[in-house]
Amino acid sequence: MNAQLRPLSLLCELTYRCNLQCPYCYNPLDLRAYRDELTTGQWSSVLQAAADLGVIQAHFSGGEPTLRPDLVALVEAAAACGLYTNLITQGTFLDDELLDRLVDGGLNHVQISIQAPQAPLADRIAGAIVHDKKADALRRVLTRDVALTLNCVLHRLNHDSIEEVIDYAQRLGIRRLELANVQFYGWAYRNRGALMPTLEQVRHGEDVVAAARERLRGSMEIVYVLPDYFGDFPKPCMNGWGRQFITVTPNGYALPCPAAAGITTLAFENVRDRALGEIWCDSASFVRYRGTDWMPEPCRSCERRELDWGGCRCQAYLITGDPGVTDPACSLSPDHAAIASLREETSGAEPVYRRA
């Protein structure tokens, strides 16, 4: 392995349990397979091992990470290793007491997601009556010494409300807003027919974001995650396989990408069986698509090969059955026609709600 290669970011998926049922969730369909969760001690070891490898940020996510009773202890453990700590939550359990304990424990940043800017639609998407609770959590976080990002995943059911999401954020005094077009993995891939935005929605969204960025310059930063199936080039997924990111699943599997468990042609290793540093450096799964040597054409000779890193391996696998080909999202991919048909394969059917 290249000695310079150092992971920068660790995503701790503490649990896949969640009290919401969002059909756009990227978690795997077989949620029951992940119930044998790592213990507090095992997670603490993972955090220390990650810090030793050079990781600078620990992200606590899920599922809903606040369902873990040891969340505060894990934030404290991460902070004690010198890691920057980020909690990715839907906020419904973030009461004053938990929030104070997290901030006292060294939490640096919270990302709270809403499903839509208005309660009826948001609650319909979440499959639970939770929207008003989230506004309370957002207000609470704003009064604490911790950074906040408001996140809203965009898809066909809420894309027309994009301006209202920005207004909602502005009314609350949010400094950082992430508008993330849905990415099609896990439950979202299963529900792609119901969630795929229309081309009109995507174009309108771009215009709204460009105007809002101009209008709100200096008062709100808007991060816009581009839609996957609508561009000419693929996203540089994870900034390259096994280059900067490690995800650890609730039951301890170390993955180069949060969606990688879906690639059944690779055998991933577990932090219960092997040290995280060894998995990062030497495991067949992390090495397999690292760098550019694995690339077939058209990536191999492409001048963008170290910009896109071949796109997303999980997406290549989902769409073509082979994780080792150019991401079909790339217009240069021989499989690109499949993306166009997925984009048009919209359905009026109700989405399937996430459930264990």
Partner 1 sequence: MKPTAYPRFGKGVKLRHEGNGSIMLLIPEGALVLNASAAAALELVDGTRPLAEIIAAVAEQFDVTADRAGEDLSELFERLEQRGLVQ
Q: Which of residues 67-86 bind partner 1 (CB under 8 A)?
A: 82, 84, 86
* Contact (Cβ atoms closer than 8 angstroms) between residue 56 and residue 6: no
Identity (one letter) of the amino acid at 1? M
> What b/e readout covers 296-333, taking b as 16+ CB neighbours within 10 angstroms?
eebbeebebbeebbbbbbbbbbbbbeebbbbbbbbebb
Total number of residues that touch partner 1 (CB under 8 A): 20
Distance (Å, whole) CA 98 – CA 36: 25
* Contact (Cβ atoms closer than 8 angstroms) between residue 130 and residue 153: no
Q: Please confirm whether the linkage preceding 63 is cis (ω < 30° from 0).
A: yes
Kindly tell me which of 244 and 346 has the beta carbon lying closer to partner 1: 244
Site string for partner 1, 86-125 (x = CB under 8 A): x---------------------xx-x--------------
Q: What is the nearest approach in angstroms of partner 1 to the Cβ of residue 285?
A: 26
Residue of the chain from 175, 190, 305, 336 that contacts partner 1 (CB under 8 A): 175
If binding is defined by CB under 8 A, does position 137 make contact with partner 1?
no
In the chain the first and final C-alpha atoms are separated, in Å, by 38
Stretch that binds partner 1, among 146-154, 315-323, 326-334, 339-347 (CB under 8 A): 146-154
Identity (one letter) of the amino acid at 299? C
Residue of the chain from 146, 169, 254, 319 that contacts partner 1 (CB under 8 A): 146
Identity (one letter) of the amino acid at 214? E
Site string for partner 1, 187-226 (x = CB under 8 A): ------------------------------xx--x-x---
Distance (Å, whole) CA 281 – CA 256: 12
If binding is defined by CB under 8 A, does position 304 make contact with partner 1?
no
Write out 198-261 in H/E/C secondary structure: CHHHHHHHHHHHHHHHHHCCCCCEEEEECCCCCCCCCCCHHHCCCCCEEEECCCCEEECCCCHH
Q: Which of residues 305-344 bind partner 1 (CB under 8 A)?
A: none
Residue of the chain from 133, 176, 204, 304 that contacts partner 1 (CB under 8 A): 176
Residue of the chain from 15, 27, 44, 57 that contacts partner 1 (CB under 8 A): 57
Residue of the chain from 97, 145, 293, 303 that contacts partner 1 (CB under 8 A): 145
Q: What is the nearest approach in angstroms of partner 1 to the Cβ of residue 2?
A: 17
Distance (Å, whole) CA 281 – CA 257: 15
Q: What is the nearest approach in angstroms of partner 1 to the Cβ of residue 107?
A: 9
Kindly tell me which of 136 and 178 has the beta carbon lying closer to partner 1: 178
The residue ranges that bind partner 1 (CB under 8 A) are 8, 56-57, 82, 84, 86, 108-109, 111, 145-149, 175-176, 217-218, 221, 223
